[in-house]
Structure 1
């Protein structure tokens, strides 16, 4: 579970960095683009990926899918926040947990014991209570498309990374190198489009923020994949533990760092999330 905890810390830190960057009116997508170049460099120099030896055995369908989805889902996320708000977008991202959990049962043939079932039920309830805020935002059907795309995007990414982690043909660090490489190329193409057609100037201060984001993003994905390696027989433990952990730590960061107001429902949701994580952890220790 240590890999899950480290991944959660990196994931929440990414959100904190982006929120601070938004306060300084920085270009979020330029930061995201540079972040992939940094993550790519870390993967190359720290893990010495077997580029030539593995080029013929790469899971191309996974590589291409993740290379496109990683930067594109960031765009969906930003657009969703713009049109429907942070709350609905965050709910959509956390509800993406349903997709990999369903995949764990139907695709990866994982056995669910009673602790895990109870933990998941409590966890899904925690998502609602933790993120619930009184709001009367009215959205048109077209605007509601964006949080739906966020939900589907993050859910599919989680499931695809599970397949990457359990693939035995190529070391996962080598596959991760090619994924970062592909994501950087895709984000670079989008950035070029924005510069040429939307006249967005490139500012080097975004590059420095991208370095910090790249370090955190690299740690997030690396520990996430290592968690799946260590808990290969129980992928839902990683899926659920990651999502619930982000909710708890993210909520604490919002309260302590950004002074966000929390309702009694929110605090109740945090308690439920902690109970959910305990149940899911116990499911690793006991077979019922």
Structure 2
């Protein structure tokens, strides 16, 4: 459970850092690319084996990290944009409502069994996520921006399902660090290609503020994935329970951080959502 708790903490910090990007006028794309370079390096440092790229290329999960790397940078940019336009809580909720996708995936593909109380907990989790994210009537989100949370929802669900698939079928415990590192490495490479294409039309300038922002983001970003995969390797708790606890706890913590740090307003429904989140976590974790 320690791995799961650490993943929750790191993931919650990501949403706060995205909001700070907006506060300090950090250019999201460049900071995100820097963040992936940092995460890639952290993974290489943590890997206990010898880094042999010829051996890595031969791994059955290698091309999966390539696809996930491209997908990561797309979803990460969408998450950042959603945090800045709709708020930290909405971005968090759009990401974590996707918990239903890996839960269904685990039950139907891996024949994971859920007790009645766990099913009740998952339903309460979805309700909790919805109420925790509701804005007051005075807060409006542009209609054009409504597509952002939807795309974040779908993309996050696909990423969670992919993580479970690779952990179940392709990864050895000692390969978690290098697997995570390669995902971030390909994400960084995708970003560099995008910037290179952009540089053909407009000149690019290095900005120390963007680099610092990327470094600050890169460390918790890497460990959010690293610890989640480690948690999925726990044979005593199903992936359905892990994804439910992980996602709901992130919504709860990131919402509270949004209130504490950015003075985001909380309605009675928001507090009700947080209360339901606590109940759902207890039901899923203990039963």
Equivalences, count: 280
**By how many angstroms is 1:219 displaced?**
1.4
* CA distance 1:213–1:80, shift in 2 (3 Å): closer
TM-score by length of 2: 0.89
**By how many angstroms is 1:108 displaced?**
2.3
Aligned to 1:240: 244
Aligned to 1:35: 35
Q: Which runs of 5+ in 1 are unaligned?
A: 284-288
Q: Which runs of 5+ in 2 are unaligned?
A: none
Aligned to 1:152: 154
**By how many angstroms is 1:192 displaced?**
2.5
Aligned to 1:57: 59
**By how many angstroms is 1:7 displaced?**
0.7
**By how many angstroms is 1:5 displaced?**
1.0
The 1-side partners of 2:236 and 2:182 are apart by 22
Equivalent pair of 1:164/1:172 in contact (CA under 8 Å):
no
**By how many angstroms is 1:131 displaced?**
0.7
1:166-215, CA deviations, whole angstroms, 9 ceiling, x for partnerless residues? 23455232322221221110122123234443555331221122111111
1:96-147, CA deviations, whole angstroms, 9 ceiling, x for partnerless residues? 112111111122221111221111011111011111113454625xx54433
* CA distance 1:137–1:40, shift in 2 (3 Å): closer
Q: 1:103 aligns with which of 102, 105, 109?
A: 105
TM-score by length of 1: 0.88
Aligned to 1:202: 206
The 1-side partners of 2:35 and 2:159 are apart by 18
Are 2:174 and 1:173 equivalent residues in the alignment?
A: no
The 1-side partners of 2:147 and 2:128 are apart by 24
Q: 1:118 aligns with which of 100, 115, 120?
A: 120
The 2-side partners of 1:210 and 1:138 are apart by 28
The 2-side partners of 1:81 and 1:193 are apart by 26
More displaced 10-residue stretch of structure 1: 20-29 or 162-171: 162-171
Equivalences for 1:69-148 in 2 at 5 Å? 69-80=71-82, 85-86=86-87, 88-135=90-137, 137=141, 139=143, 143-148=145-150
Equivalences for 1:6-45 in 2 at 5 Å? 6-45=6-45
* CA distance 1:14–1:80, shift in 2 (3 Å): closer
* CA distance 1:22–1:219, shift in 2 (3 Å): same
More displaced 10-residue stretch of structure 1: 131-140 or 157-166: 131-140
